[in-house]
Amino acid sequence: MNDIRSISKEALNNFLTNIGVERFRTKQVWNWLWKNFVSSFDEMVNIPVLVRDKLKENFRFPTYEVIKVSESKDGTTKMLIQFFDGSQIESVLIPTEKRLTACISTQDGCPVGCTFCATALMGFKRNLNAGEIYAQVVILNKLALEKFGKQLTNIVIMGMGEPLLNYEQVMMFCNILSSEDGMLFSSGRITLSSIGLPKMIKKLTEDNSKFNLAISLHATSDEKRSKIIPASKAYSIEELIKSLDNYCKTTGKQITFEYILLKDFNDSPEDARNFVKISRKIPSKVNIINYNTFDNTFFEKSDDKTTADFINILEQNRINVRLRISRGSAINAACGQLAGRKKDVK
Ligand code: SF4
C-alpha cells in the first residue's frame, strides 16, 4: 500500500476523481497532508467519512516517532526518528547566531559508501519518501520554535543518504516545502548536497532546479577521489565539472564545493593548487570542513597549520573560501557522523 505522502498531487487527484469525488476535494486533502501535516485521515474533518474510508482502504498513513534526542553544549540537537517499518534516521538542528538550520536525511543508510563517513558503515536500507523527509522539517521546526521562539531559516539536505539517488521524492519534498502548499520556504535557503552524479546533475539542469547545490568534492584527482568515494569510479572529475558547468550556465546559479580535509590524504599544497584549478572552471565558492572522527574510521583531522596553509593557497588565488565550523561533534551530529540505530538508544 502506498504512503499517502509519497504520491503527487496529480496522482491524488486521479485517485479521487476516479472514485467519483469532486475535484475541489483534492486541494482540501492536499492541505491536510502538507499544510497542516495531520497524523491521520480522521483529522481531515471537512472530508466526508466515505471519502476518508476510501483513502484508508487504499493508502497507508505515515507514522513517525522521535525515539532519542541528544543535545550538545553548542545547542546543536540531534533527533533519532523511527518510521513505520522500523527504519531509523537522524536529523539535526544547528543553531548559530544568525541561522536555525535543519540538516535532514533522505535515505536510511547510504549506498555510496564513502570511506570517511559513518553513515556508509550502516549499509543501505531504503529511500525515504517525501513525507518522511518533510516530517524531519516539521519536527525540527517545532523544536526551533520551542527552544528559540523562531522558525527554521535554512534547510540543508546533508544528512544520511545521497539525495540525487532518491531524486523524485527529494524533489517532491523540496517543491512542496517551497510552495504555498507547504511552508513557502525560500528555495534559496534550501541546499541539496551531493557527491555529484553527472547524470543526475543533468536532470537537475533540465528541471531548472531553483535550489542551491553543494558538491562534495573531497579530492582533486580521480585516483584519490575513487578511494574515498567508491561511487565516483564511474565518472571522472572532468565529467562532473562539465555537467556542473552546464548546470551553472542554464540555471544561472553558482555551486558550493565541500571539501573535508583528511590528514595526509588530501591536504597538501599540491591538492590546494589542484583545487584552485578545478574551482576556477565554474562559478563556485568553497567550504573547507574539518574532519569529524568516529569509531572505526582510519582517517584523522588535518592539523590547524595544514588547514590554514591550505586555505591560504585558495585565498591567494582569489577563491571564495571559508572554513565551515562543524557543530555537534560531541554528540556525533556533525558532518559525516550520522549513523542512528535503535541499538544506540539508552
Ligand atoms: S558522505 Fe554522503 S554520500 Fe557519502 S556515504 Fe556518507 S551519506 Fe552517503
* Residues 290-314: tens digit of each pLDDT: 988 877 788 999 999 999 999 999 9
- Output the pTM of the full model: 0.94
Q: What pLDDT is attached to residue 325?
A: 76
Q: 74 pLDDT exceeds 80?
A: yes
- Could you tell me the CA-to-CA distances from 31 to 27, 53, 78, 176, 182 in Å, in that order? 6, 18, 29, 11, 8
CA 300 – ligand 1 centroid, Å: 17
Digit-coded pLDDT (tens) for 44-67: 999 999 999 999 999 999 999 999
Task: Look up cell 521524492; give the residue.
Answer: 169
CA 182 – ligand 1 centroid, Å: 28
Pocket residue to mutate for ligand 1, from 104, 107, 119, most atoms within 8 A of Cβ: 119
Q: Pocket residues for ligand 1 (CB within 6 Å)?
A: 110, 112-114, 117, 119-120, 160-162, 195, 336
- State how far the Cα of 32 lies from the Cα of 44, in Å rounded to an integer: 6
DSSP letter string over 103-121?
E--SEEE-SS--TT-TGGG
Cβ atoms 318, 67 nearer than 8 A: no
Q: What pLDDT is attached to residue 345?
A: 38
Nearest ligand 1 atom, CA 193: 2
Instruction: Enumerate domains of the chain plus CATH numbers.
Output: 2-60 (1.10.150.530), 64-344 (3.20.20.70)
The partner residues of 92 in beta bridges, in order of sequence, read: 78, 103
State mean pLDDT over 205-225.
Answer: 97
- State how far the Cα of 159 lies from the Cα of 92, in Å rounded to an integer: 8
Nearest ligand 1 atom, CA 119: 6
Nearest ligand 1 atom, CA 110: 8
Catalytic residues, by residue number, are 90, 335
CA dihedral of residues 201, 80, 110, 144 (deg, nearest 10): 10
Torsion angles phi and psi, residue 104, rounded to 5:
-120, 160
Strand 284-290: give its sheet, edge to edge. 64-71, 77-83, 88-95, 100-103, 154-157, 190-194, 212-216, 255-261, 284-290, 321-324
Digit-coded pLDDT (tens) for 153-177: 999 999 999 999 999 999 999 999 9
